[in-house]
Structure 1
Amino acid sequence: MRIQPCSHVPAEIHAPNSLRGCEECLRMGDSWVHLRLCVHCGHVGCCDDSKNKHATKHHAVTGHAVIQSLEPGEGWMWCYEHESQVG
């Protein structure tokens, strides 16, 4: 699968707001499966395999289109608007 460029990927990727975990899950005292970084603002949320799906909820509220995996050894990005992996 060839990774396509995407106009939603910002020129500057924001650093994570939290390196401890999903911001909302931490406040709730809940757990997550994998972490995703909003490259637009640095929000750290849990993935769609997590019960709370905070990364997707963040997109729904803010319109920020692109997330990046924060899992060790991964660096892929996903665009919610194009529903595809982007670079």
Structure 2
Amino acid sequence: MMISKRYRNALLLAKTYPSADCYSDHVPVVGKFKLKLKKNSKPFTNIKFDLAILKTNQTIREKYQISVQNKFEALGDAEEIEQQWENFKSAIKEAAT
């Protein structure tokens, strides 16, 4: 039985059945595996914004301020502090992109 190096420790048992009626010159092989799969995690990508542009470029700063102001006016008031924080954070990020 051929198996890759990655899974060689996972093979617990392998049996052949030479007298099986399959009308072929091949011998059926049955194996028992115990796999331990781990979750593939995506690397966290943190978006970095260039804040130096806001300091140097007046037109971009004004557009950003107007965009943020419009987002905050559209948000309204939320009852819970967590909901207010999520609304605030999403408004800032949407205005920056």
Query: Does TM, normalized by the shorter one, top 0.5?
Result: no
- Normalization by structure 2: what TM-score? 0.20
Looking at CA atoms only, which structure, 1 or 2, has the larger radius of gyration? 2
Which is helix-richer, 1 or 2?
A: 2
Higher relative contact order (CA 8 A, sep 6+): 1
Which is strand-richer, 1 or 2?
A: 1
